C-alpha cells in the first residue's frame, strides 16, 4: 500500500493546472467522471431540512431586458416611460443585455412592463427580485 502521508504531501504541491490534468488522467484511466457524485447528490432530491422548510413565494420581481430587438428605438421609448431615464441612459440599458429595467416591483407591474417591452420588439423576462 502507498504511503498516504507522502501522497498527500505530493498532491498538495500541485498547481491548479497540474491538479486539473491529474483529474482528467484519472477519469480516463478509471473510466469515471469527477462530476458524477455531485450530479447523483443533486438528483437525489432535497435534503430533509430543505423539504421541511416552507416554500416562500416571491412577491417582488425584476424585469430584465435580454435583447432590444429589431425596433431598438421603440424599445428605448418604452424603457424611458417605465423608468423616467434620459435618452442616453435608456439607450445604454437597451443595448446592455441583462439590464434590470425595473427592480423589486409587484408581479402584475412586472408582467405589464414585460408585455410593453415585448410589444416594442424587445426580449424581456420577469425574474424573482434578488
Q: Does residue 30 sit in the same domain as residue 74?
A: no
Shared domain for 39 and 88, answered yes or no, is: no
Stretch 43-47: mean pLDDT, rounded? 56
Dist. CA 116–CA 40, nearest whole Å: 42
Same-domain status, 114 and 74: yes
Q: How deeply is 64 buried, as exposed, middle or buried, from its count of CB atoms within 10 A (0-12, 13-18, 19+)?
A: buried
Of 2-6, 34-38, 53-57, 91-95, minimum mean pLDDT range: 34-38
Claim to verify: residue 32 and residue 85 sit in the same structural domain: no
Domain shared by 65 and 86, yes or no: yes
| Residue 102 included in any domain | yes
Query: Do residues 99 and 67 both lie within one domain?
Result: yes
Q: Are residues 41 and 65 in the same domain?
A: no
Same domain as 124, residue 66? yes
Q: Is residue 74 domain-shared with residue 117, that is, in the same domain?
A: yes
Do residue 33 and residue 91 come from a single domain? no
Residue 61's Cβ-count burial label (10 Å; 0-12, 13-18, 19+) is buried
Same domain, 121 and 90: yes
| Rounded distance between C-alpha atoms, residue 69 and residue 78, angstroms | 13
**Would you tell me how many other CB atoms lie within 10 Å of the CB of residue 90?**
21
Does the pLDDT of residue 46 top 70, yes or no? no
43 located within any domain? yes
Asked whether residue 23 is assigned to any structural domain, the reply reads yes
- Measured between alpha carbons, how far is residue 52 from residues 44, 46, 47, 58 in Å? 16, 9, 9, 18
Question: What is the CATH classification number for the domain harbouring 109?
Answer: 3.30.1390.10
Q: Are 65 and 124 in contact (CB under 8 A)?
A: yes
Per the domain annotation, does 56 fall within a domain? Answer: no
Whole-prediction pTM: 0.55
- Specify the pLDDT at position 12: 81
Structural domain harbouring 109: 61-128
Amino acid at each position: 500500500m502507498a504511503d498516504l502521508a507522502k501522497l498527500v504531501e505530493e498532491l498538495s504541491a500541485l498547481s491548479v493546472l497540474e491538479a486539473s490534468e491529474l483529474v482528467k488522467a484519472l477519469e480516463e484511466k478509471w473510466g469515471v467522471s469527477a462530476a458524477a457524485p455531485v450530479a447523483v447528490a443533486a438528483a437525489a432530491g432535497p435534503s430533509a431540512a430543505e423539504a421541511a422548510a416552507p416554500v416562500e413565494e416571491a412577491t417582488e420581481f425584476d424585469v430584465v431586458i435580454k435583447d432590444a430587438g429589431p425596433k431598438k428605438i421603440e424599445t428605448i421609448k418604452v424603457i424611458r416611460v417605465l423608468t423616467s431615464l434620459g435618452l442616453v441612459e435608456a439607450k445604454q440599458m437597451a443595448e446592455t443585455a441583462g439590464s434590470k429595467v425595473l427592480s423589486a416591483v409587484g408581479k402584475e407591474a412586472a408582467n405589464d412592463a414585460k408585455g410593453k417591452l415585448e410589444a416594442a420588439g424587445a426580449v424581456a423576462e420577469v425574474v424573482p427580485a434578488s
